[in-house]
Structure 1
Amino acid sequence: MNSSTFSDLCSSYTNKIFNSPNSLLCKIKSTNHELVEQCKRAIEGSQLTKGLRDELESLPREIRREIVKKVRNGCAPLFLVCKRGCVEIAEYLVTVCDADIEQRGLYEVPEDRSFHFGTPLWCAAVSGKLAIVKYLVSIGCDINAPSDSGSTPVRSACFMTHIDIVEYLVENGADISKPNINGGTCLINSVQSVSLCQFLISKGADVNAKDIQDKTALHYSIQEHRLETTKLLLEKGADPFAKSRSGDDALQTACLKGAHRIFDYLKSKLPYPLERLADAHELIGCTFLDEHNETRLAILHWRLALHMRHRDEDFIEKKPVIPLRAAYGYATEFKTAEELNNISTDVDAMRIQSLLICERILGISHKDMLFRLMFRGASYADALRFQRCIDLWRLTLEIRIERFSMLYSDTCFTAQALVRLMLDLFSRYNNLSPNDFNEQELPTFSDVLAVFLLLTNDIMEAQKLLQIKPVFRKQQENFDRVLKCITHLIYLLICIANSKSEKQLVIQSVHAINRQKIRSACTSDSLLHLCVSRLNVIKSTYFTDENNVRSIFPNFDVVKLLVETGSEINAKNEAKSTPLHVASLPYNYENDIVLYLLQNGADLDQPNKSDERPINMIASNPLNKIPLMNFINLKCLSATIINKYRIPYRNQIPKCLDDFVKQHEV
């Protein structure tokens, strides 16, 4: 008998056992359960009980192999004992039960609560179990087998600072230059340990290797305030002028992260021009102010910078010149000691100076700059200075749409935060009497319209980007969130517009977006679908009352405006539901909206994919007050009968009716 025939017989035997309800199957299940339980409780040096070993060895080898292959909670028995560091049980499972030494399992990293899918060797390396690592390497495990994130055992051991395991793996052929999917190398993962970095560099690790953000180990060392590691990397040839994708070199990274000891070390060791040092002192002063609320340290660094700029006869100008911005109150940067003294007692003026300095040095689209704009806006909102918040968040949204895309998560996040703030402000001021507040009613029409135009001007461009494969679900969801923002802005525009010219602007703006026939990316809903649904709400992590989000939809005024400006009344979404289908759902039902849709041509008898028809949904609703017979016509009934009985109609009816009949197909 050849080997393939024998294998086929064993497989057949195994399948019969596992698929037959007999006592042997029960024994196998109980054996597997007991094996998993003992593996979960195993400690270094422990063994399986004699009773369990006897049970396993009484079964054919093929059955043993199937038992140890079974996974519970993402892990097979071998993976469990590798995590526990039990060599004796691991050796038993491999030699007696033919356990697959490369069978992957699910591992939770305790430090960051993340989950990864890797081999037993990867699991042992991350767990810091040197003995089991040695055993697995000795029996031929793939020493460079990556996890689901592309991280090899040695790279992950570097992250956990298991130096003994890193040394053993490297001595046995582990590749220290192989990065994970984000380009992170072993050296980047090791900046928390000087000795580990020293070892890796001695084995040929590239000190200037970059990840997908173009960051080197030096960037990460500075980010984590690792002074000794920074010194080592620089001594070993790390480039302090290498820039990340954001344009940050070593000195700028130290400024942004407030790593003052590294900042001082870099100044003492590298020949920076005086202008660069002045910029650096100004930037680290901003970080002390914004991140740590250290006004004294901020002023100190700004004074040092000013002293440097005035050191020679010619004043070192602050370059480039930043345009005057309404969001900053048209403020300009201080240039003299007197100007600095004037703002040193005004925290708000200092914070605006911080934004001016950061924009000049970092550029308006730098991620840290945009974060500071959002953070400063939130601070204004906390202080009930809402217009200042709107100004800064509007500027952030403009930059993110211009430089990135509305499909970008941070752009969507900004749009949601801004629109949600406007909705809350409108609700707040709408419920107050004129005597209850003194400031201008917010949000203003100009702000709402500006945000609406920001989100709609390039909406077609964003939708085209979603047609390019591969299509990412996250980008589709971001697009749909932006559409929800647009519908809420239409609501605000209708409510806030007072003059005839403002109302005309609203009509023109909504007509323009309607002409583009925008659909949601995930469900193909039109704007009209969204505006008749109670599920159309905006959530934002900037607000803490997410469980109490007030729904403003379905909304008659918005529906009316959309229909009047050209929304397709019988548009179908992915489920082939029309806006009338959505409006007829019990939790969305409002008589005035359903009646308005019917009066403007919504079809009562069009089926969706589930063969649900608005006529049945409305008729069964106890809240219905609409005389449905007034909206049923012979043409619609005829189309339904043709489809119901599958009557051939091609070339039997006028061509203009073909599409109408087809719309009534399930």
Structure 2
Amino acid sequence: MWKSHNKVDVVSQKDDCFQDLIEECKGLPPGSKLSYSLRSRLEKFSLAVRKEIVNRVKIGNAPLFIACKKGQLEIVEYLVNSCGADIEQGGCYEVPDDRSVHSVTPLWCAAVSGKLPVVQFLVDHGANLNAVSDSGSTPVRSACFMTHLEIVQYLVEKGADINRPNYNGGTCLINSVQSAQLCSFLLKHGADVNARDIQNKTALHYAIQEHRIETTALLLEHGANYNVKSKYGDDALQTACLKGAVPIFDYLISHIWYSNERLANAHELLGSTFLDEHNDLYSAIKHWKIAQTIRETPQGIIPKLPIMQPREAFRYQREFSTMEELENLMADLDSIRIQSLLIAERILGPNHKDNVFRLMFRGASYADMMCYQRCIDLWRRALEVRVEKDSILYSDTCFTAQALVRFMVDYNEKHIPSDDTESTYIQRFEDSVATYRILTNEIGDMRQLLNVRPQYQRQLDNFDKILKCITHLIYLMLQTAKTQEQCQLVVDLVTKLIQINPRCATTDETLLHLCVSKLNTIRSGYFSDEQPVIIFPEKQVIQFLLNLGANPNATNDSKSTPLHVATMPHNVNNWLVPLLLEYGAHIDLPNVAGTCPVDRVNVEPFNLDIRILNFISLKCLCVKTMTKYKIPYRYQLPKTLELFVHAHNSSRC
């Protein structure tokens, strides 16, 4: 008994020591020592026990990690020398700017925190100079990001690898572009000036992005390749144009030879950036005039290539080709905005991320000005580009589709008159059809791709969101179809989709499942004050789908039919359940939980007073009897009857 009590007492003492150690490390300022009483209590234990205590972890961190982060050198020395703390024991470091948390070593933590004495102590005691964080970043690379020059100099002197990138390809030099002094040091010690990251960007790209002209000049002096293109196709000059970095732009064109065509393109793109990013009309016109002056040579006008076909989204406008045409445009601000989009698409290419961003931004600007049709035109063009470039499975595509369809639904439901067309009280039929075609063109292939492993949850979710968009587009097409030809087109389009039978990737729900549910709403996330517009359950759409052959007894992953969904409390109404029953929905099909719609239709909150026997056949009653008495049926009935019994049999005997 005495030994048992003594053992419990020792455990309690160790726990108390650890808790007090954590609290002192957290609370003491840099330069402090542990209290005498705590050190005395720790030193009563053997070295092995002290080591076990100090290497414990609380909320992801051991005492040594906390002391390193705070720069408590004497505590660090005591924990390592007197207690045997593990100098490679990882901890959790929260990055102040983006609040992300990374698993790192004490040396990494001290380097990023700017605690040079602690860094020196850890290195002297054998800490791994090139130990990486969970993102593959070494201590010296992360110290570069924080511009801790002295720490970088010390680590390099001790042999740290400055060319080792993180998992995204970012090197020390890329991380240091905010400091020309730090970049100069790295270059003198062998940093690769043209190392590229996962986006195919070099340090020069990042220096220009951040408007660091001193660093830009330094990198070019050390052989940076200004022709290297990022994965989006941006070299040094184009990056300067996209970021509106005028001093760097001027430096590049004065120190590097570019053809007249390239210079003209650069001035045109820079002017477009000023207009779209900064709403600076004066600077935009100034650079466009410079570009046109360059193009008008004694040998003739340098053409704008590639030649772009007029697009409906841009009101079939063409770019100005003479100074006179540019002068004439100056009185029409709307035409100038379209010119900017034309320039961006020609120079950057339709698929460039900045081109798509400008389409979305300008569309939103039109929406703010109550030019709703203009917004729809540009956002539909952005959706076309995203689908062509990626697919409907990508988050950016899904975001654009949700924003567009949600806006079209709002536009149709609120019947808002627009100031840019004569009669636009409802959504145009052709817009709904065009958007529907974009989203459904390859939907069957995309659904098949989602079955290939590994599966990615984000892509599964995006596909489901696209299906919700499609159901809303069917609603819009039915709402806006006025002629017999338009109605027949909707029939043809939706019939083809029903034959493909796309199902939700996460729940295996059909289009009919979605259309009977009040939860089928679209949240675009584009407008901060948006409220969900509830369209479904919508009788016209549901009846339309049923008339075209949608299966009222299709089941989702929980074996629930559309009738199960329709009898959920949040979908209460008087017409939905009778409509589904009229088209052959089975009222007694059980789902995996054994629940049948028949159990709900005549109770609160429905009280539909449906005559159950009118919708239950003799076959259904036979299945009920077979289930009750567990009569085996497999391989003893015709296949069609076996499937019927299987669907009605919750026990699946």
- Shorter-chain-normalised TM-score: which range? over 0.9
Alignment match, 1:201: 187
Alignment match, 2:133: 147
What CA distance in whole angstroms lies between the structure 2 residues aligned with 1:149 and 1:645? 60
What CA distance in whole angstroms lies between the structure 2 residues aligned with 1:488 and 1:29? 60
Check 1:360–1:58 CA distance in 2 against 1; reply closer, same or farther (3 A cut): same
What CA distance in whole angstroms lies between the structure 2 residues aligned with 1:27 and 1:557? 74
In the alignment, which of 217, 241, 257 is matched to residue 243 of structure 2?
257
Check 1:92–1:206 CA distance in 2 against 1; reply closer, same or farther (3 A cut): same
Alignment match, 1:9: none
Alignment match, 1:665: 650
What CA distance in whole angstroms lies between the structure 2 residues aligned with 1:47 and 1:560? 78
The one-letter amino acid paired with 1:204 is G
The secondary structure found in structure 1 opposite 2:103 is: strand
Task: Write the mapping of 1:172-183 to structure 2, written as runs, cut at 5 A.
Answer: 172-183=158-169
Contact 1:643 1:661 in 2 (8 A): no
How far does residue 63 in structure 1 lie from its aligned partner after superposition?
5.4
Alignment match, 2:215: 229
In the alignment, which of 444, 462, 475 is matched to residue 459 of structure 2?
475
Alignment match, 1:77: 63
In the alignment, which of 434, 447, 470 is matched to residue 486 of structure 1?
470
Alignment match, 2:333: 347
What CA distance in whole angstroms lies between the structure 2 residues aligned with 1:106 and 1:641? 62
Alignment match, 2:323: 337
How far does residue 250 in structure 1 lie from its aligned partner after superposition?
0.7
**Are 1:307 and 2:293 matched, yes or no?**
yes
In the alignment, which of 467, 491, 499 is matched to residue 515 of structure 1?
499
Contact 1:74 1:105 in 2 (8 A): yes
Provide Cα deviations, 1:419-477, integer angstroms capped at 9, x if missing partner. Answer: 011011011118x8x9xx96322310110011011101111122222233322211111
Comparing 529-538 with 276-285, greater Cα deviation is found at 529-538
Check 1:59–1:570 CA distance in 2 against 1; reply closer, same or farther (3 A cut): farther
The one-letter amino acid paired with 1:648 is P
Task: Write the mapping of 1:577-592 to structure 2, written as runs, cut at 5 A.
Answer: 577-592=560-575
The one-letter amino acid paired with 2:405 is V
Provide Cα deviations, 1:278-297, integer angstroms capped at 9, x if missing partner. Answer: 11111111111111111111
Check 1:638–1:57 CA distance in 2 against 1; reply closer, same or farther (3 A cut): farther
What CA distance in whole angstroms lies between the structure 1 residues aligned with 2:605 and 2:406? 34
**Are 1:445 and 2:408 matched, yes or no?**
no
How far does residue 228 in structure 1 lie from its aligned partner after superposition?
0.4
Contact 1:83 1:129 in 2 (8 A): yes
The secondary structure found in structure 1 opposite 2:161 is: coil
Alignment match, 1:270: 256
Alignment match, 1:607: 590
The secondary structure found in structure 1 opposite 2:234 is: coil
How far does residue 24 in structure 1 lie from its aligned partner after superposition?
5.3
How far does residue 580 in structure 1 lie from its aligned partner after superposition?
2.0
The secondary structure found in structure 2 opposite 1:439 is: coil
What CA distance in whole angstroms lies between the structure 1 residues aligned with 2:29 and 2:506? 49
Alignment match, 2:269: 283
What CA distance in whole angstroms lies between the structure 1 residues aligned with 2:646 and 2:45? 63
Alignment match, 1:5: none
**Are 1:598 and 2:581 matched, yes or no?**
yes
How far does residue 69 in structure 1 lie from its aligned partner after superposition?
4.2
Contact 2:555 2:562 in 1 (8 A): yes
Check 1:192–1:591 CA distance in 2 against 1; reply closer, same or farther (3 A cut): same
What CA distance in whole angstroms lies between the structure 1 residues aligned with 2:628 and 2:439? 44
Alignment match, 1:12: none
Provide Cα deviations, 1:189-214, integer angstroms capped at 9, x if missing partner. Answer: 11001111111111211111111111
Check 1:52–1:564 CA distance in 2 against 1; reply closer, same or farther (3 A cut): farther
Check 1:634–1:218 CA distance in 2 against 1; reply closer, same or farther (3 A cut): same
The secondary structure found in structure 2 opposite 1:116 is: strand
Check 1:511–1:58 CA distance in 2 against 1; reply closer, same or farther (3 A cut): farther
Alignment match, 1:6: none
Comparing 471-480 with 38-47, greater Cα deviation is found at 38-47
Comparing 211-220 with 340-349, greater Cα deviation is found at 340-349
How far does residue 95 in structure 1 lie from its aligned partner after superposition?
4.2
Provide Cα deviations, 1:329-377, integer angstroms capped at 9, x if missing partner. Answer: 1111112222111112322111111111112211111111111111111
Check 1:43–1:490 CA distance in 2 against 1; reply closer, same or farther (3 A cut): same
Comparing 412-421 with 522-531, greater Cα deviation is found at 522-531
In the alignment, which of 522, 529, 544 is matched to residue 528 of structure 2?
544
The secondary structure found in structure 1 opposite 2:102 is: strand
What CA distance in whole angstroms lies between the structure 1 residues aligned with 2:470 and 2:102? 38
How far does residue 114 in structure 1 lie from its aligned partner after superposition?
2.5
What CA distance in whole angstroms lies between the structure 1 residues aligned with 2:132 and 2:631? 60
What CA distance in whole angstroms lies between the structure 2 residues aligned with 1:27 and 1:556? 71
What CA distance in whole angstroms lies between the structure 2 residues aligned with 1:396 and 1:447? 14
For normalisation by structure 2, the TM-score amounts to 0.93
Check 1:252–1:637 CA distance in 2 against 1; reply closer, same or farther (3 A cut): same
Contact 1:387 1:442 in 2 (8 A): no
The secondary structure found in structure 1 opposite 2:599 is: helix
Check 1:500–1:267 CA distance in 2 against 1; reply closer, same or farther (3 A cut): same
Task: Write the mapping of 1:35-74 to structure 2, written as runs, cut at 5 A.
Answer: 35-59=21-45, 64-74=50-60
What CA distance in whole angstroms lies between the structure 1 residues aligned with 2:17 and 2:558? 48
Provide Cα deviations, 1:147-174, integer angstroms capped at 9, x if missing partner. Answer: 2222221111111111111122222222
What CA distance in whole angstroms lies between the structure 2 residues aligned with 1:506 and 1:381? 28
Provide Cα deviations, 1:562-616, integer angstroms capped at 9, x if missing partner. Answer: 2222222222222232222222221123332122222323233333333333233
The secondary structure found in structure 1 opposite 2:303 is: coil
Task: Write the mapping of 1:180-195 to structure 2, written as runs, cut at 5 A.
Answer: 180-195=166-181
Percent identical across equivalent pairs?
Answer: 54
What CA distance in whole angstroms lies between the structure 2 residues aligned with 1:661 and 1:417? 45
Structure 2 unmatched runs, 5+ = none
Check 1:43–1:276 CA distance in 2 against 1; reply closer, same or farther (3 A cut): same
Comparing 493-502 with 348-357, greater Cα deviation is found at 493-502
Check 1:95–1:579 CA distance in 2 against 1; reply closer, same or farther (3 A cut): farther
How far does residue 634 in structure 1 lie from its aligned partner after superposition?
4.2
Check 1:169–1:514 CA distance in 2 against 1; reply closer, same or farther (3 A cut): same
Paired residue total: 644
What CA distance in whole angstroms lies between the structure 1 residues aligned with 2:633 and 2:229? 68
Check 1:589–1:158 CA distance in 2 against 1; reply closer, same or farther (3 A cut): same
How far does residue 415 in structure 1 lie from its aligned partner after superposition?
0.6
Check 1:190–1:622 CA distance in 2 against 1; reply closer, same or farther (3 A cut): same
What CA distance in whole angstroms lies between the structure 2 residues aligned with 1:59 and 1:579? 69
The one-letter amino acid paired with 1:440 is T
Alignment match, 2:480: 496
CA RMSD of aligned residues (A): 2.4
The secondary structure found in structure 1 opposite 2:359 is: helix
Structure 1 unmatched runs, 5+ = 1-15
Contact 2:363 2:374 in 1 (8 A): yes
The one-letter amino acid paired with 2:506 is C
What CA distance in whole angstroms lies between the structure 1 residues aligned with 2:241 and 2:456? 35
Contact 1:569 1:579 in 2 (8 A): yes
Check 1:595–1:226 CA distance in 2 against 1; reply closer, same or farther (3 A cut): same
What CA distance in whole angstroms lies between the structure 2 residues aligned with 1:576 and 1:79? 52
Comparing 384-393 with 63-72, greater Cα deviation is found at 63-72
Check 1:159–1:626 CA distance in 2 against 1; reply closer, same or farther (3 A cut): farther
Alignment match, 1:8: none
Provide Cα deviations, 1:509-543, integer angstroms capped at 9, x if missing partner. Answer: 11111111111112222112211222211111221
Check 1:165–1:340 CA distance in 2 against 1; reply closer, same or farther (3 A cut): same
Alignment match, 2:403: 417
Check 1:106–1:442 CA distance in 2 against 1; reply closer, same or farther (3 A cut): farther
Alignment match, 1:7: none
Contact 1:595 1:626 in 2 (8 A): no
How far does residue 417 in structure 1 lie from its aligned partner after superposition?
0.8
Alignment match, 2:552: 569
Contact 2:572 2:605 in 1 (8 A): no
